[in-house]
Structure 1
Amino acid sequence: MAQFLFEAELHRLLKLDTLIPNAPPARWQRKAEESGPGPSPVGVSPMKPVNPSHSYGKMLSKIPGERPGKSGSKIQSYPTKAGGDRYIPKRSTMQMEMANFLLTKENDPAEDSPTKKEQQKAWAVNLNGFDVEEAKILHLRGKAQNAPEGYQNNLNVLYNQKMAPGFSRKKSRYIPSNPEWVLDAPEIHDDYYLNLIDWSSQNFLAVALDDTVYLWSYGTRKLTPLLQTEHPDIYISSVSWIKDGDYLAVGTRSAEVQLWDVQPLRCLQTMTSHYGRVGALSWNSYILSSGARTGHIHHHDVRVAEHHVATLAGHTEEVCGLKWSLDGRYLASGGNDSLANVWPCTQGGDGNFAPLQTFTHHQGAVKAVAWCPWQMNVLATGGSTIDRHICIWNVCSGDRLSAVDIWFKCCTVF
């Protein structure tokens, strides 16, 4: 029976449009009682409570919050002043006690008793395993407290462990401003189109001074003469080391290409196929490529007597820059005709081989050519003082990735 009474009371409370028993008087009623008996203000008349027996009152009780209009549309209703201007739900006894406790604690300036503090400390120790007040690591004054005995920080163990044997931190590159060693180079030809210096993988420096080639060892700091031409009028025009550093290719003004073994200091082979001086050389395994003043590039197989295996004709003037890519797939050439060509790895005689890419953006002779060591299809080319630009190319698509004005950069730095 009590259950049905509870449900009936709950349904009655959910009907917001009905009168709330024991509700506080409305604001207009309180003002009327304070001002005493008298006429109500003009335009304001006290509202009467709705008669539950009236049909309109029954409709409101059935559909709370809505009442019909004249045209049948729904009109939003509002609570009557007879029942109060707001809905005040009932509060349970426990909630009232909790609110009273919080208000009393907020307004009470007295500090907690020692017994209560000890109880809170015991609770903290049981929940966290340590006292929160003693575990603070930041204080406004004083030194930080020591960690409890036996405490170990997991982060300290993680970041202080030894690194793997093959792992090393990346260090910033240091570029010295002063030279480590200065070498005299008398009688070196002041010719932009020649390539007279090359460094080997075994730390030997080959330098061509007029008609003589010298080898300088970085380890022993000794200078050794390698060769000297037979005629004083024939000078050395280019030098290039093989990848292993055991053999040196030498180009001369007389259109010859010589192959030298640096250990016994003797000439292994002399190759003649050009009709002008050889100003650029580059190795691709056992294939030696040479660029001449006529604009032709020859491929030489140094393993056989018939060394000339291919001819590339893509320049109209002297070839002054020549470089094979690290994977041996492409050959980059630069000439005095302001062209930079990219050739595929081809062999097979004197056929008409066409360049894979031809770059015409430079305005001067292209001597500097270099391949990216970590991205094999990226090429850098540099022009002369008339051009003053370094261009970065994608040889697969033929797009220019970037261009740098060297003169502008130098003026900005200095």
Structure 2
Amino acid sequence: MAHFKFDNLLTEMTRLDAPLTSGPPMRFNRKSSSGLGLSPRPVRTPGLTPTFPDSGHAVKSPTSARTPGKSPARLPVPQHRGRWKTPSKTPNKSSQHQHDRFIPNRTNSDFDMAGFTLTRPEGEEDEEVQSPTKVEYQKQLGAAMNIPENAKILSYKENKPKPAVGHANNLQVIYSKTKALGPNQVHKRIIPKVPERILDAPELLDDYYLNLLDWSSTNQMSVALGPAIYIWDASSGRIVQLMSTAVPNEYMSAVKWIQQGTILGVGTSQGEVELWDVPTEKKIRSMGGHAARVGSLSWNSHILTSGSRSGAIHHHDVRVANHNVGILNNHTQDVCGLAWSPDGKMLASGGNDNVLNIWSNVLGSDVSPLLTLTHHQAAVKALAWCPWQHNIMASGGGTADRHIRLWNAQSGCPLTCIDAKSQVCSVLFNQHHNELISGHGFSQNQLTIWRYPDLSKITDLEGHKARVLNLAMSPDCTMVASAAADETIRIWNCFAVDKRKKSSSVKPTGQPETIMLKSSRIR
């Protein structure tokens, strides 16, 4: 008989069109029976009347003999005669089956433990509560990150707070803070890409081995244009023709101001070195001795050093009649670069023989160079000494080399090297921003600003239509003048110290002012 009962039970459970005969009553039935809602209309269902287990009341259930139609008037709803009450705060075992979900006894909750759990800092957990695997993982992670066992890593937006006097921190707290950026990184320096002024310089010779531009300590710029020398006063804008030669095919090949004063040294294509007093526009003296044109000049106090196309370097003491106090013969070709160190202890010379020589301040003849550097693969014209480190110098090579190199002049050790991608014609240091600026030839004919000492490029200044032959720094080290083979001199305000001060010469439209440097009557 047991298998027949099981079969009937299975049949009742798998019928989909029969009403529910077991389980708790519907919610609205519980409300109606408890007096909280309207009582539904009673539904008479034929069949047996089973008894509810605990209450002793009878619940009518539909019989399995009759199947309702496809569209019944009302679905049968199981009911019971017992009254459902609102659960009390402390339910008993006999009424637990009447609830849809379990509600714990809140009066017995441990509020102290709950409050400690909620207010405990995140991540603070006893090792007894953690699993052994998690504890071991945290120890290995700390060892891999070089963090002590009892250390805490905190992150602050500002500097870490100072501990109290006499405080001893046993946790060995490690503070991690974002590195504060420097003033140049927070507020990036704005470098104008348009020159402040453009000076027209006709008959400027397109010769890589000449040095035709210089800026004095009195804020006067000198430039050699063919057979003449012109002076431009940057303070007043006045242009003066200092001199002009009447000898056919003769031209001015180099100009250099004394460090402090108004004396200008001039090299000629005839191998002579002249001294001019600019305020009076008079020639002081003429010093000979070279067998070829003088393409480079450099002052060291009262000593004027000149380099010629023959490869010879002469020292001239301008105070005495016998001016020639030393001759240096080590270069085999044109000496196109000369530069005395700021302290006057060393002289750098570069030539068309791809050699860079470092000389000690020893006057006389038959003197050997202190260092001979042959790293460049082209003519070495661009030379500059670092103003804040007197033993550091920069050099640049020609078309076949295209490299800018930093040297330790005392040991001859190369420090940094960068490929400039074009001919290096001139290079200068700037002490306000610890940077370098270089003038280049083909293909962009640009000026490039480099960061010292890694020589990372900062920006390019473009505008010249031909290669930049010479650069000159203003006496306040804020502006740079560039003379190019396109017969123009452009003045760039690229090292301004105070960004709020703007030059009144800048046009509102961004177009630079053009000035004729050479007078029309001379032209």
Alignment TM-score, normalising by the size of structure 2 = 0.46
**Partner residue in 1 for 2:315:** 299
2:399 paired residue number: 385
**What is aligned with 2:219?**
203
Alignment correspondent of 2:267: 251
Does the C-alpha gap of structure 1 residues 103 and 332 become closer, same or farther in structure 2, counting only changes over 3 Å? same
CA distance in 2, matches of 1:178, 1:356: 42
Go from structure 1 to structure 2 and tell me whether the alpha carbon gap of 1:353 and 1:221 turns closer, same or farther (over 3 Å shift): same
Cα gap change, 1:172 to 1:243, in 2 (>3 Å): farther
Q: 5+ residue gaps in structure 1?
A: 1-101, 109-154, 156-168
Matched residue, 1:89 = none
**What SS is found at the alignment partner of 2:421?**
helix
Q: Are 2:374 and 1:395 equivalent residues in the alignment?
A: no
> In the alignment, what sits opposite 1:367?
381
Aligned equivalent of 1:309: 325
Select which of 321, 339, 345 maps to 2:355: 339
1:367 and 1:215 mapped to 2: Cα distance? Answer: 24
Percent identity reads 50
1:252: Cα distance to partner? 0.1
Which letter does structure 2 place at the counterpart of 1:357? L
- Deviations for 1:263-319, whole angstroms, at most 9, x for unmatched residues? 111011100011110000000000000000110100000011110000111100010
| Counterpart pick for 2:342 among 310, 326, 343 | 326
Corresponding residue of 1:272: 288
Offset of residue 174 of structure 1: 3.9
Specify every segment of 5 or more residues in structure 2 that has no aligned partner in the other structure, as ranges: 1-108, 116-161, 163-182, 423-439, 445-456, 461-523
Residue in 1 aligned with 2:201? 185
- Counterpart amino acid of 1:365? A
Q: Letter of the aligned partner of 1:208 in structure 2?
A: A
Q: CA deviation at 1:106?
A: 4.4
- The match for 2:51 is none
Quote the Cα distance in structure 2 between the aligned partners of 1:104 and 1:221. 87
Q: How many residues align?
A: 254
CA distance in 2, matches of 1:386, 1:107: 79
CA distance in 1, matches of 2:410, 2:218: 33
Q: Which amino acid in 2 is paired with 1:316? A: T
**1:373, distance to aligned residue in structure 2 (A):** 1.1
1 or 2, which has the higher helix percentage? 1
TM-score, normalised to structure 1, is 0.58
- 1:212 is aligned, of 196, 208, 228, to 228
Cα deviation 1:226-279 (Å, max 9, x = unaligned): 011131311000000001131000000010000011111101110001111000
Larger RCO, structure (CA 8 Å, separation 6 or more): 2
**Distance across 2 between alignment mates of 1:338 and 1:294:** 15
Q: C-alpha distance in 2, partners of 1:338/1:280?
A: 16
Partner SS for 2:191:
coil
Q: How does 1:12-411 map to 2 (within 5 A)?
A: 105-106=112-113, 173-347=189-363, 349=364, 351-407=365-421
Shift of 1:202: 1.3
Q: Which residue of 2 aligns with 1:141?
A: none
Structure 2: which amino acid aligns with 1:367? K
Q: In 2, distance between residues paired with 1:185 and 1:286?
A: 31
Moved >3 Å (runs of 4+): 102-108, 169-174, 408-414
Equivalents in 1 of 2:307, 2:251: separation in Å? 16
After TM superposition, give the deviation of residue 379 of structure 1 in Å. 1.1
- CA-based RMSD of the aligned residues comes to 2.6
2: distance between equivalents of 1:312 and 1:105? 94
Q: State the alpha-carbon separation in 1 of the partners of residues 392 and 240 from structure 2.
A: 37
| Matched residue type, 2:192 | P
In structure 2, what residue type is equivalent to 1:190? D
